[in-house]
């Protein structure tokens, strides 16, 4: 996201009206217009009914959606899906849910999934939720139901006046921790040094999270995304943070 865009529109994001609830609040993303290309739209039309859902108020029945019972891992802010697609392939035993607000990014993810259908290893274990991950966690995900949560390169909102928009703050840590099963894992990666410190502080202060001193139930192997590649080329170092949900 281009920081210059933000200066012209420093407002509270007006959330959508759902039912009779209206919830204006600061969100970790800005609405971005994004038209789909024709191939993206065609892929969307073919895949979305099976693979995607819009955020809603109802609890998701993950087993029914995936057509099987398996450990569920949620990736927040999956962008164009590079990590989600690679990791879904590497972890066929996991039901992976990618959450993203940016429609063209989701469309690119669908295209990548579709491309695997002609291969020997079609991806069948990845689903996509379109909307705010905070709402997803609050309304759609049952407490203590997730084996893992991944947040790779959350928008750093580097200006002090935008810090309130950061996704990874104490209330989000509490929410994520409440949705993790005991022994489940939260894996975060960021290229922003100051945000990394703030994330570490908030994560370490969350009473339901602890350092992981047992074998992780999820893989920590990430592919390098285009976003990360760009960060590395300008010399940013990457910080990886991992916590486990307390087991007793
Ligand atoms: C900096 S990008 C990183 C994308 C991807 N993880 C990567 O490494 O390439 C952050 C992404 O998080 C998404 N995002 C930000 N806040 C979100 C939220 N509350 N719920 C879902 N997605 C969100 C943005 O739309 C954007 O695609």
Residues in contact with ligand 1 by the CB-under-6-Å rule are: 27-29, 76-79, 99-102, 105, 132-134, 152-155, 167, 225, 227-228
220 CB-near residues (< 8 Å, 6+ apart) = 187, 240, 242
Torsion of CA 163, 137, 144, 61, to 10 degrees: -160
Query: What local confidence, expressed as pLDDT, does residue 31 receive?
Result: 76
What span, in angstroms and rounded, lies between the C-alpha atoms of 152 and 121? Answer: 25
Torsion of CA 88, 91, 93, 95, to 10 degrees: -30
Enter the pTM of the model: 0.91
pLDDT digits (tens, 9 = 90+) for 214-245: 999 999 999 998 888 998 899 999 999 999 99
What span, in angstroms and rounded, lies between the C-alpha atoms of 155 and 26? Answer: 14
φ, ψ (nearest 5 deg) of residue 54: -85, 150
pLDDT digits (tens, 9 = 90+) for 93-131: 999 999 999 999 999 999 999 999 999 999 999 999 999
pLDDT digits (tens, 9 = 90+) for 2-57: 333 333 333 334 444 444 344 446 889 987 778 999 999 999 999 999 999 999 99
Considering only CA atoms, give the Rg of the chain.
17
| β-pairing verdict for 146-152 and 72-76 | parallel
Dist. CA 248 → ligand 1 center (Å): 32
What span, in angstroms and rounded, lies between the C-alpha atoms of 154 and 171? Answer: 16
Residue 75 in marked binding region: yes
State the first-to-last Cα distance of the chain, in angstroms, to the nearest integer.
Answer: 40
What span, in angstroms and rounded, lies between the C-alpha atoms of 55 and 137? Answer: 10
Q: What would the two tokens of residue 164 be?
A: 């309130």
What span, in angstroms and rounded, lies between the C-alpha atoms of 190 and 151? Answer: 9
pLDDT digits (tens, 9 = 90+) for 128-161: 999 999 999 999 999 999 999 999 999 999 999 9
Q: What is the residue with the minimal CA distance to atom 13 of ligand 1?
A: 77
The highest-level CATH class for domain 41-245 is alpha beta
Beta bridge partners of 101: none
């Amino acid at each position: 996201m281009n920081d210059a865009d933000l200066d012209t529109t420093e407002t509270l994001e007006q959330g959508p009206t759902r039912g009779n609830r209206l919830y204006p609040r600061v969100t970790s993303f800005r609405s971005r217009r994004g038209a789909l290309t024709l191939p993206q739209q065609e892929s969307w039309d073919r895949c979305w009914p099976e693979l995607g859902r819009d955020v809603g108020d109802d609890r998701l029945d993950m087993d029914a959606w995936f057509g099987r019972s398996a450990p569920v891992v949620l990736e927040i802010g999956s962008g164009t899906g590079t990590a989600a697609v690679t990791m879904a392939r590497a972890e066929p035993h996991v039901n992976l849910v990618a959450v993203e607000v940016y429609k063209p990014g989701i469309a690119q993810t669908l295209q990548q999934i579709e491309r695997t259908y002609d291969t020997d290893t079609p991806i069948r274990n990845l689903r996509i939720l379109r909307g705010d991950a905070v709402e997803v966690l609050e309304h759609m995900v049952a407490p203590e139901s997730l084996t893992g949560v991944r947040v790779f390169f959350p928008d750093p909102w580097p200006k002090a006046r935008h810090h309130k928009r950061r996704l990874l703050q104490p209330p989000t840590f509490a929410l994520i921790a409440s949705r993790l099963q005991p022994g489940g894992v939260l894996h975060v990666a960021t290229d922003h040094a100051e945000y990394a410190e703030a994330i570490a502080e908030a994560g370490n202060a969350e009473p339901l999270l602890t350092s992981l001193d047992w074998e992780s139930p999820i893989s920590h192997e990430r592919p390098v995304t285009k976003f990360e590649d760009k960060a590395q080329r300008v010399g940013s170092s990457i910080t990886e943070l991992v916590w486990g949900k307390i087991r007793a």
